Structure 1
Amino acid sequence: MDRVLIVDDDVQLCRLLKERLSTEGFELEAVHDGVRGLERALSLEHALVILDLMLPGIGGLDVLRRLRAKSPIPVLILTARGEEIDRILGLEIGADDYVPKPFNPRELIARIRAILRRSSMTAASAGPLNHGDIQLDPKSREASLNGVSLNLTSVEFTLLELLLRQAGHVVTREQLTESVLGRKLGPFDRVIDVHVSNIRKKLGPSELGQRIKSIRGSGYLFVPRSEAR
């Protein structure tokens, strides 16, 4: 049974989610403030954290920032509708995905399953992937640049691996969303774009120029070394 931590000051919501998730095979622990939430998220006792952004004590974004400095645990953030800036900031800091409130519990459960499925993936049949100064090991889900760890989140690793394996080919935003996030691309959905931006920052430019190109109206392309400029 996967243990899930929810950090939200809405006690009634937490109670309802605990009942619902238990029927889906999850064990839910709920805490209601940022200080305790950060402490429990760092305990290594959970497979995933559901994090509300509006919290007493320490705000959700600060919890996420401090958590990411020490742990790669998958994080699904909850935001009120209209908090577009906070959603983007959460993704930039390292959240895997977000669900806006109010939400359908079935959607939340689907997002949880998609994140856990991705974070637990191993690719025993796929050997290490080397692309110039970038090295990826699908089995350990470790990525490095010139031998130095990139400290990618689970979703960033999956996204970079997909782009590298399709180097020289355009991968649409729809394909990336379905393959990496396990869901359909929604209207005004910028989750993949923010994750690509995060990867670009961690990789930096190559000596030949841009590594990941944006293809207007389509998606992204990892530039083969022979074509980078």
Structure 2
Amino acid sequence: MWDTSKDYRLMVALKSVELFRRTLETGSFRGQWKKKLALTTAGEIERTLQGILYSYLEPGELAGSPEIEGVMEKLDVIVEALGGEDWAMKFASEAGKDDREKVEENIARVRFFLNTIGNLKKRLMLGKIADPVIGVDILAGEVMSVGGHPGADKLQVCNVNIGGRALKVVTNDPDVREGDRVAVALLPPENFMGITSEGMFLGVEGVLRDVKGEPGEMPRGMPLEALNEARNLVEEFLKS
């Protein structure tokens, strides 16, 4: 019997719904979209996840359950309520000069929610894993560009290809270069002096820069200690 009440995948998923709802309620998104429908549907997802939190089903069985399938269908409803597949571009284009930074941060938070829920089934199919990092996606990526942070000399802003889309990561490792093959934890977004980072590079003493695996796939052959900081950040997110 699997203790679903302690499954990090479900706990992080529930917390991501809470973050999503708080984000929409800030009122920073302009334009025509169905806020009430998005919030109502998020509430339905939340109740479903709360219901299966104490189901004690095996992860594989849970992954194929009608409840999880229903969550995936509701996620499609939310995307349409936000404005369709190009919702992020629409919200960014509607942002005023004074609130652009906040809108970009909130777009990243919505993406975190959509990704966390959207890939929940895949993470459940990995089986019985009692590790905080299973609550988020760990993906291989390729650094497409590196630039200096406009407000911090010791930070770099990287655009990373993770398969289906690009991801922005802020790092303090000065050795990261374009073309590096990295491992990225898709963590709750964090604002670093005006720039929102959507994830964190994994590493031990510096960023891993020759990771095996195609962008968007799970990295192969990483040292386990490279996951330590991501574990800590997942735990912090759950306590926030």
TM-score (norm 1): 0.28
TM-score (norm 2): 0.28
Which one has more relative contact order, counting CA pairs under 8 Å at least 6 apart?
A: 2
